[in-house]
Amino acid sequence: MAYDNANTYETIELFGLTEKDAHLPIPEDHVLTDHIIRESFESFLGQLRGTGLEAEIEPLAHGLATILQRRKVALGKEVDRTADKIGALAKSHDGSEIAETALEEAQARFLQLREIVGAVDVMSEAAAECYEIETGHAFIPAAGSRASVRAQETGAVFEARQLLEQHDRETAEKSKVEGVPLIVSGATDWTDVDVIFNTLDKVRERIKQNRNQEIFLCHKGGKHGAEMIAARWARARGIAQARFDPRWSAHGRAAPFKCNDEMLDDKFAATGVVLFGGNGVALNLGQKAEAKGLTVMRVTDPAKKTAET
């Protein structure tokens, strides 16, 4: 019995639950978020508050959220691989029963994976929210003629093509960000949350009045200071974010400046820049933006203004 269990666990670890879970129901969203994720966070991390391990809450919470984020990405890649497999099977379909069965099985797996990805996505988002509530930080975790081939096609092949077309449309829709790009940057030691929240609220409202469009936030994904607080604001307001991560291995110390160039690219059509304090990178961003004719709002850090007076 122990041998059988060991084999079972090894199989699950290598391949995930396979045919045995194919017909099991996926929990509803409220179960995934409230009973599975939030209760797990509370039971695991809640006991650490007020103890000598309280300092470990932030890295542990980040680790839990990261696990789900990585699993979502891995499953998304598996969905794409399965979609490619369906495409290959549909293309080579010869009308035989074997080909028909293989195609139907691939389609069934594809649909199952999409449901799983949706559930893991819900859990991943809930975990990110739990991390933010717990720590106060933003979670900053793509032969024969045509006629003869058509004559050999079956309903499964047509269905497969429709399935792939739907997948492509939905993938493109998820990747599309609607709205006006607003670039935000600033000092890494900025701590005043209210100033950033109030400023971005006003900028957002003004753009909505003038252009009748929502904004989406563009930043470099800083884990501290102004960009981290701006990311928290965006999540709190339900605003989409585009993160331009510096590619340190490719550009070295010039990586943040390369990010500035990417965010200011003409094809991106940013509406303006908001700088909360800043360093050399932020100043460079402001200068380049103004050279392109963009409006740059510079907000002084109240803490430093008070210190100077």
Q: Residue 143: which pLDDT band, with cuts at 50, 70 and 90? A: very low
pLDDT at position 163, please?
56
- Provide the terminal-to-terminal Cα distance of the chain, rounded to the nearest Å: 76
Question: Residue 32 has which token pair?
Answer: 């995934």
130 and 226 in a common domain = no
137 and 13 in a common domain = yes
- Give the count of beta carbons closer than 10 Å to the beta carbon of residue 146: 7
Mean per-residue pLDDT over the chain, rounded: 79
199 and 253 in a common domain = yes
Question: Residue 67 has which token pair?
Answer: 């696990």
Which of 152, 175, 198 is at the close of a domain?
175
Quote the number of domains for the chain. Answer: 2
pLDDT at 157 over 50: no
Q: What is the mean pLDDT of residues 5-18?
A: 44
Write the CB contacts of 50 (distance below 8 Å, at least 6 apart in sequence): none
Q: What is the rounded CA–CA span in Å between residue 217 and residue 242? A: 6
167 and 199 in a common domain = no
76 and 34 in a common domain = yes
pLDDT at 11 over 70: no
Angle at 63 between CA 62 and CA 69, to 5 degrees: 90
Helix (H, G, I), strand (E, B) or coil at 203: helix
Tell me 21's DSSP state: G
pLDDT at position 25, please?
83
Task: Report the CATH number that the domain containing residue 289 is assigned in CATH.
Answer: 3.40.50.450
Q: What is the mean pLDDT of residues 40-53?
A: 88
pLDDT tens digit string along 223-263? 889 999 998 898 888 888 888 888 877 778 888 898 899 88
Q: What is the mean pLDDT of residues 270-294?
A: 92
Residue of higher predicted confidence among 207 and 17 = 207
Q: What is the mean pLDDT of residues 269-282?
A: 90
24 and 157 in a common domain = yes
193 and 136 in a common domain = no
Report CA-CA distances (Å) from 61 to 19, 75, 232, 276: 32, 22, 16, 28
Q: Residue 21: which pLDDT band, with cuts at 50, 70 and 90? A: low
Q: What is the mean pLDDT of residues 104-127?
A: 87
Helix (H, G, I), strand (E, B) or coil at 22: coil
165 and 276 in a common domain = no
157 and 29 in a common domain = yes
Which conformational region is residue 25 in: left (phi greater than 0), alpha (psi within -120 to 50 degrees), or beta? beta
**What is the full DSSP assignment across 243-269?**
E----HHHHGGGHHHHHHHHHT-GGG-
pLDDT at position 153, please?
39
113 and 34 in a common domain = yes
pLDDT tens digit string along 205-231? 999 998 888 998 889 888 889 999 998
Which of 123, 153, 175 is at the close of a domain?
175
Query: Structural domain of residue 299, as residue ranges?
Result: 180-308
123 and 213 in a common domain = no
Write the CB contacts of 134 (distance below 8 Å, at least 6 apart in sequence): 41, 45, 57, 58, 61
161 and 62 in a common domain = yes
